[in-house]
Structure 1
């Protein structure tokens, strides 16, 4: 999609992207491409069923008549998630979650930034990422293992690395 959709009330208004970074191509995995192809096929069937009443807005996700989805869809998603026992999240929360999961999977922050269409990676890191408890635990265990290993090898003193005001490193 080459245009950003902004909601004014309940009517979508097409406009240019907020920034140059917002206008981007996003790489997709094979499973997502397969799902989108299936969705496109289903949407083509809806188009045939609607006939002349079909509104060709060019959006990937539309209602059964081709019109842009009403903003209420986010509220409906929230209720559906709750009804099936998932945490109650809004659609935009999925964007934050995707960014956090990409970074947790080791994806470079620059790629995450560009995928989300952000101008800076600092904004991506500060706004769109979370520290997952399992990763924090892994970091704590890794640090503890480093200390334990050094102590076993008689090198515990080398773990303390102080930097003086002049920038000199002093190991004890």
Structure 2
């Protein structure tokens, strides 16, 4: 009788713990990250080897190809609400928006200005007005600046699977 009770109790506890542990991805909520020092690895664990120069990424995208790999740069801007995107300057004077695969992770909101290595897929794409306005709102732009966005924009986009934010280059 004691064995039966123990087995039933164990199964009940196991079943409850397996079903009630919703990940932040499933619930659509993520922890907002602000740390004293935003150094670390976010998303998939990636390494610092085999990093491609940003100029090679730009050349691939200008030829109409997708880029798959890792690049190193500096974080220019970060979503002020959640850290759900960031931007990086490219050697051609353009800016590249970096989003995170499946909205699966964020970076610290105070990580602008830090050196970064990102791994994933880059492409050139047209971003619609609604999305551009959303990004402007996330960046803390004024209502007037947001309303001034009236046309889609051809942009460099990078979907990262992993990010390493470094203390120094």
Give the TM-score taking structure 1 as reference length: 0.22
Bigger Rg over Cα = 1
Q: Which has the higher contact order (CA 8 A, sep 6+)?
A: 2
TM-score, scaled relative to structure 2 = 0.23
Q: Per residue, is there more strand in 1 or in 2?
A: 2
